Amino acid sequence: AQSVTQPDIHITVSEGASLELRCNYSYGATPYLFWYVQSPGQGLQLLLKYFSGDTLVQGIKGFEAEFKRSQSSFNLRKPSVHWSDAAEYFCAVGSGTYKYIFGTGTRLKVLA
Amino acid sequence: KAGVTQTPRYLIKTRGQQVTLSCSPISGHRSVSWYQQTPGQGLQFLFEYFSETQRNKGNFPGRFSGRQFSNSRSEMNVSTLELGDSALYLCASAGLAGTDTQYFGPGTRLTVL
């Protein structure tokens, strides 16, 4: 069955520290992969997406993600976290339709 | 360009009632998808409409239905509300291809008492 796993429910980092959020997927076909961010009371904002090509994808707000087919992973990274990055982050997989499967999310807390 | 708008933003209903939520997509977008977000189940796909036709459907009971109008605006209806239907309902719009970016609205927070 198709699924997305985000193993970390909560992550706390200090401002200025680096960040890596993990995402593993199970998908039979070639996946389309996404990272979204959701601030409290808001909808989802797309950070970046991977369809094909270069496996290192650059997104908005200084985020990047690397697609590793052998590990079925699409981890999100940021070299230096800002207090405004505190939010919930969702990994999602699709197949060329808009029927996305989302992970359960990782809530990021940033310490000043 | 205006983003995806959803009305109302908050709604309180009682069990057994029905509710209609509305979504206006970004101008020019013809695909509208609906998702339910709950703390227990996370984000789950309800259905997608494209050019007034349901193109994809998730695993929800028939109490959940939707439609899309010729101007791409979409409505979602839930009949015979249950307590478990309390959730944030998110609408997303996108262009023609399934590889286009989905833009999400702020959601409608439905509380069923």
Note the pLDDT tens digit of each residue in B24-65: 999 999 999 999 999 888 999 999 999 999 999 999 999 999
CA distance A35 to chain B (A): 11
Instruction: Report the alpha-carbon distance of residue B55 to residue B36 in Å, rounded.
Output: 17
Give one DSSP letter per residue of A32-97, joined into a string: EEEEEEE-TT--EEEEEEE-SS-SEEE-GGG-EEEEEGGGTEEEEEESS--GGG-EEEEEEEESSS
Q: State both tokens at B63.
A: 């109490």
Share of chain B above pLDDT 90, in %: 86
Q: What is the mean pLDDT of chain A?
A: 93
CA distance A26 to chain B (A): 16
Instruction: Report the alpha-carbon distance of residue B51 to residue A77 in Å, rounded.
Output: 37
Q: What are the pLDDT tens digits along chain A (112 aa)?
A: 789 999 999 999 999 999 999 999 998 777 899 999 999 888 899 999 998 888 999 999 999 999 999 999 999 999 999 999 999 999 999 877 788 899 999 999 999 9
- Among partner residues B31, B43, B99, which is closest to A51 by beta-carbon distance? B99
**pLDDT-derived band at B5, boundaries 50, 70, 90:** very high
Helix (H, G, I), strand (E, B) or coil at B85: helix
- Residues A61-82 as b or e (16 or more Cβ within 10 Å = b): eebbbbbeeeebbbbbebeebe
Chain A residues lying within 8 Å of B98, measured CB to CB? 32, 94-98
What local confidence, expressed as pLDDT, does residue B40 receive?
A: 84
Q: Is the pLDDT of residue B98 over 80?
A: no
From chain A residues 61-80, the ones with a CB under 8 A of any chain B CB are none
Q: Is the pLDDT of residue B20 over 70?
A: yes
Helix (H, G, I), strand (E, B) or coil at B84: helix
